[in-house]
Amino acid sequence: MAQKIVWGCVNKNGSIYSGSGFTPVQGGRGIYDIVFQTPFQTTPSIVATQNYRNWTEWTWEEGNTRDNCVLIAADRTKFKMATGSGSGDKEDRNFCFIAIGEV
């Protein structure tokens, strides 16, 4: 079976930083839907990680290891995730993802 990969980096305001094949939709504080422009055959595997504070801020050495993102739901057309602060509160944050599945 053929595999398809969609990847991207999304800014905390919901705009695309890099990647293609998807549309980000910000759904509230720290909540994002990523809609695939072409659906997968079945639900893909989703891996995501948060970027804090800025994409290229190499001198920043702070950050809390509890700052993270959580996959809420996924199907063949989209996935929903939440990003948050080290205290566990939802917060708008930059993040990257990769989705791999069948074409």
Which CATH number belongs to the domain containing residue 23 in this structure? 2.60.40
Task: Give the count of domains, the chain.
Answer: 1
Q: What is the per-residue pLDDT for 32?
A: 98
Distance CA 41, CA 85 (A): 34
Whole-number Cα distances in Å, 39 to 25, 62, 89: 16, 38, 31
CA angle 37, 43, 10 (to 5 degrees): 50
From first to last of its 103 residues, what are the pLDDT tens digits of the chain? Answer: 799 999 999 999 999 999 999 999 999 999 999 999 999 999 999 999 999 888 998 888 877 888 899 999 999 999 999 999 989 899 999 999 999 999 8
Quick check: helix, strand or coil at residue 52? coil
Q: What is the per-residue pLDDT for 92?
A: 97
Distance of CA 74 to the CA centre of its chain: 12
Q: What is the per-residue pLDDT for 27?
A: 94
Indicate the DSSP class of residue 90. B
The whole-model pTM stands at 0.93
Distance CA 9, CA 21 (A): 12
Distance of CA 84 to the CA centre of its chain: 12
- In degrees and rounded to multiples of 5, residue 66 shows phi and psi of -85, -10
Residue-number span of the structural domain to which 61 is assigned? 3-102
